[in-house]
Amino acid sequence: MIEVEERPILEVSDVPISDERLELIIIMLREMYIDVRRVDYKVQVISGATALLVAALALAPPNLTISGVLAAPTSRDLLLVFIEVSLILSIVATTLANILALRARPFDKQRDGLFSFGDIASKHPDAYTQEFLSLSNTTYARILLEELRLNGLLVATKLKWVRRSSQSFLFAALVWIASYLISVVG
């Protein structure tokens, strides 16, 4: 988990923020939300590919029998056992990395304010609207910049797990190909 440093975005007193700058911050935040969705989509693609790999394994006839390997193991049998164990472990690693990527939340404290779902739902609509409209551009920019920073941490954490998931899946696919070739050549 990434530690979130508690610090204000701007250390100076109310600096006037132009509407154009505020619009730029909003565009950046919108793009960050799109990045979060893209990373989640990558996880879905890797999960689907992993499911196909597991289905291919289930349809393939078993190359080994436990009694055969225990009775008189050959070097081919031992290689196939190693490959199968490696394949299973890499599929498990891929699945765990996907789960961690989807559940990634680098900030452990509850987010509060005008942009958190909990606060929006808990306030009366008129009170929420009044509080939102009473914000100065500077306060609004601070809130949006903090949200942008937190979403940047979220994307970075998700990407770390997606990279690990991709690497595990690539390893699993290569091991599966090796297993298939060994069983065909066999």
Q: What is the pLDDT of residues 61-112, one digit of tens each?
A: 555 556 555 667 777 777 777 888 888 899 899 999 988 888 877 665 555 5
For residues 157 and 40, the answer to whether their CB atoms sit within 8 Å is: no
Read off the pTM.
0.69
Q: What is the pLDDT of residue 114?
A: 64
Q: How far is CA 74 from the centre of its chain?
A: 42
Using a pLDDT cut of 90, give the percent of the chain over it.
Answer: 9
For residues 91 and 54, the answer to whether their CB atoms sit within 8 Å is: yes
Q: List all residues 6 or more positions away from 83 whose beta carbon is below 8 Å from its beta carbon.
A: 175, 178, 179, 182
Residue reference for tokens 């903090």:
146
pLDDT over threshold 70, residue 186: no
